[in-house]
Amino acid sequence: MASTSLSSVLFLLLATYAAGASAAIFTVKNNCSYTVWPAAIPVGGGTQLDPGQAWTVEVPAGTTGRFWGRTNCSFSGGSGHCDTGDCAGALNCTVSGQPATTLAEFSIGGGAGTRDFYDMSVIDGYNLPMAFSCSTGVGLVCTSPTCPTACLFVNDDCRTHACSSNSNYQVTFCP
C-alpha cells in the first residue's frame, strides 16, 4: 500500500512539472517576394520557404536559441551555400549563421511560474526585415540596420522582453 501511495505521489509531481514545462510553438512565415531559408539552433535546423509559406518548430522548455533567415541559397543533398546567414554550408544548421544576420533570440522558461524572454538583434549585422512576437508580449519589427527595437550592441539588455511561459511565437520575414 505504501508503495502504491509513493508511486502516486511521484506520478503527480512529474505530471505537475511536465504541465508547467511545455514546449513553445514557433511559426516562421515568409512574406518576402523571394525564397528565404530560415534556420534555427539548437532546434529546428533549417528549411526552404517560398513566398507565402510557413514553417512550424516546437521548442522544448528550458531552451535558449535563435532563428534567422538565409538568402540566395543553393543546396544539393543537404549541403550548399547561402549568400547571407550561411551555417557551414548545411541546410539543417547546427551552428550559428555567418554574419550579417538579423536574429530572433529566445529563452523558453523551464517550468511553472517561469517566464520566457525574447529579443531581436542586429549586433552582428542585418540581412532581412523581420518581425518577432510572442502571443502574450510586445511585437518587435526590424526593417533596417538601425532598428530601434533590436539589440544594437553587446549587453544591450534594455531591448529584451518577457512574456508568460507557455507562449507561442511568430517570426515573419518581410513583415
53-62 confidence digits (pLDDT tens) = 999 999 999 9
In this structure, the dihedral spanned by the alpha carbons of residues 98, 148, 52 and 54, taken in order and rounded to 10 degrees, is 70
For residue 156, the model assigns a pLDDT of 64
The answer as to whether 158 is a domain residue is yes
Cell 544576420 belongs to: 101
Q: Which domain holds residue 131?
A: 23-173
The answer as to whether 145 is a domain residue is yes
The answer as to whether 5 is a domain residue is no
The answer as to whether 59 is a domain residue is yes
Total domains in the fold of the chain: 1
DSSP one-letter string for 77-129: TTEEEEEES--TTBSS-SSPPPSS--EEEEE---STT-EEEEEEE-TT---S-
Does the pLDDT value for residue 35 go beyond 60? yes
The answer as to whether 71 is a domain residue is yes
For residue 18, the model assigns a pLDDT of 39
The answer as to whether 7 is a domain residue is no
Does the pLDDT value for residue 104 go beyond 80? yes
Distance CA 163, CA 161 (A): 7
The answer as to whether 109 is a domain residue is yes
Instruction: Quote the pTM value.
Output: 0.84
Cell 540566395 belongs to: 72
**Percent share of the chain, pLDDT over 90:** 64
Q: Let me know the angle formed at the C-alpha of 27 by 25 and 30, rounded to the nearest 5 degrees.
A: 165
For residue 154, the model assigns a pLDDT of 77
Helices then strands, counting H and E runs in the chain, come out as: 1, 13
Residue 28: CATH number of its domain? 2.60.110.10
